[in-house]
Structure formats: C-alpha cells, structure tokens
Amino acid sequence: MTNSNIAEFARLMGIPKNTLWMWQTGKALPVLDILLKICYRLEISLLDLLKPEQLAAKSFTKISHKTIRRSPTQRASPKLFDANQVQDTLLAILASDNQPPLTMEEVATGLGYNRRTIFSHFPDLCRAISAKYRSYGKACHTEKIQQSCIEVKQIVLKLHNQGEYPSEARVSEIMTHPGYLRYKQVRAALNETRREIGV
C-alpha cells in the first residue's frame, strides 16, 4: 500500500508510527486491539493478516484510496491516562523476578502510553525500572566475562595437552564468544593459565 513507508501506513491506519516501528524491529509484540483496527481498515480478517501468503494475493489499492479520503476527518481519540492502572503496573514490574526485566520503552508500549507521559506522572518508578534493567545488563555482562575466563583456561589446557601452542589467535578461534578476549579479565586468564603451564 505505501511502498514500505511505515509513517504513511501508520497515518492511513490511524495508529502511532512508533508502534509500527517497534513491531517491525522486534522491540515490542503487536497488541490485539491495534491488529483488529488494521484488519478493520483493510477489510480483512485477523487470520488473513497473520498469513502473509494470503495477503500477497490481495490488492489493497482500492482500500488505500478509500482510507486516504477518510483519514483527514478521522482522528484517533486521545487515550485517557489511567494513573492508578499505570502505577499498579509499574509497581508490579518492579516487584517481578521475570528475566530479562522490561525496559521503560517496552513498559510504555505495553501500557499504550508515551514513555514521557508516564515519566511525568511517576518519575521515581520509571527511574527504578530503568535502573533495574541496567543492573540486569551489567550482571549479564559480568557473568559472560566470568564464563569466558573459565572457557579460556579450559581451551589453553586442552591445546597444551594436544601439544599445540595456545596462542591468542588459536584460543580466539575456539572461543564461543571471541570478542570477549578484548576484556582485560579474560586476557589475564589467558596469560595466567599459560604461565601456570610454563609456556
């Protein structure tokens, strides 16, 4: 309908372009009410929308023109901000042990509000959710570095037992995530293990 123009398609469908962008990039999952709105505008069933092979056989030229003509007089009604629901959701997310934790962008998308709108009402809760996500990211990073250190030691010992010199390049070839060799902790594990075996 719009030659891959997300903003134009969003305008024709009467939905936020950021919502479509989040769907396309995989940063958020589609929500049913908006999917149904798209189906209504395109005059197709939800099943048709979820089956690309059926969509490919359809022509949306007529629907596109009709939607364009109607769009100037059809404006989406602003969604009333339900402070109690948003606050309850934010508190539940903070108390949740789900991994990985949600980003504030994901939370805002799920609630159907702009992230800035939510922040203006609950700045402390928003900061806490963002801090929780950053903390999780740092913990994952630290764990991957520790795993890489263990893996490097095992690779060095294995190569040495096979009579092969455990050079940095050779160890890197075998590592699951060779990029982690750039971290000083992982390089220190490599050098320390090589000293221990006398090479």
pLDDT in tens, 44-98: 887 877 877 766 666 665 454 444 444 444 555 566 889 999 999 999 999 988 8
pLDDT at 19: 80
CA atoms within 13 A on the CB side of 198: 2
Residue 31: strand, helix, or coil: coil
Global pTM reads 0.53
Specify the amino acid at residue 93.
I
pLDDT at residue 54, rounded to an integer: 65
Residue 79 tokens read as 């969604």
Angle separating helix axes 123-161 and 184-196, nearest 10 degrees:
20
Residue 64 confidence (pLDDT): 47
Using 70 as the pLDDT threshold, list the residues of the chain that sit under it.
54-79
